[in-house]
Structures are given as C-alpha cells and as structure tokens.
Amino acid sequence: MSDCNASTCKRVADLLLQFRDGSLPAEDLAFVREHLHRCPPCVGIFDSYQEVIDVLQRLQPVRMPEGLMERMRHKVAEGASMDDEGPCEDAEPCSDEEPGEA
C-alpha cells in the first residue's frame, strides 16, 4: 500500500490552500495532515505556499494612509483626466412585464 503517489500528492496539493485556511472539511483535513506526516515533498510544497501567502499578505496594505482618500477626492474634484470617461450609467433594468396572475 503506497501512501505517496502522484495522484495522492496532487490531491493534497489541491487541498493545501484550504488546509492552511482552516476551511477544509474534517475528512480532508485528516487526509492532508496524515499525508504531510509521510510525505516530505508535500511538506515542502506546503512550506512554499506559506511563504507565498505570507509575502502576499505583507504586500497588501492593511489600511489606507490617512489623508489619501481626501487627496484622491480633491483630484477628482479638480477634474483631472475625468473628461473622456463619463460616469458609468446603470444598465437599463430589464422591464419584462410579468403576466398578471390569473
């Protein structure tokens, strides 16, 4: 019985993000956890996932710098490059007339 084959590892790789999220169903959670115990390569993949996610989270600004919204608002008010593109108009709502109930 082989715990570690290509298709098992692939399945684990697919589940790793959710595994990290904690959004994995208990069944899959146990499966991934167990597999990670026996399969160092998958642990490596998991580690690299963590690193990527860590970097991405660091890149995302947690909060807007104070005054930024204010400055943007001023810029818009000045009409900077707002000439060509008008505001998006709402799509016309479908006016299907519903047949009256009999």
Measured from each CB, the residue nearest to Zn ion is: 39
Residues 13-52 that bind Zn ion (CB under 5 A): 39, 42
Minimal distance, residue 23 CB to Zn ion, in Å: 20
Q: Which is nearer to Zn ion, 5 or 95 (CB)?
A: 5
Judged by CB under 5 A, the stretch of 7-15, 19-27, 56-64, 90-98 that binds Zn ion is 7-15
Min dist. Cβ of residue 41 to Zn ion (A): 5
Q: What residues from 48 to 87 belong to the interface with Zn ion (CB under 5 A)?
A: none
Compute the distance between CA of residue 96 and CA of residue 87 in angstroms, rounded to an integer: 26
Nearer to Zn ion, 4 or 30 (CB): 4
Q: Are 42 and 9 in contact (CB under 8 A)?
A: yes
One residue of 2, 9, 34, 64 binding Zn ion per CB under 5 A: 9
- Let me know how long the chain is: 102
Q: Which residues are at the interface with Zn ion (CB under 5 A)?
A: 4, 9, 39, 42
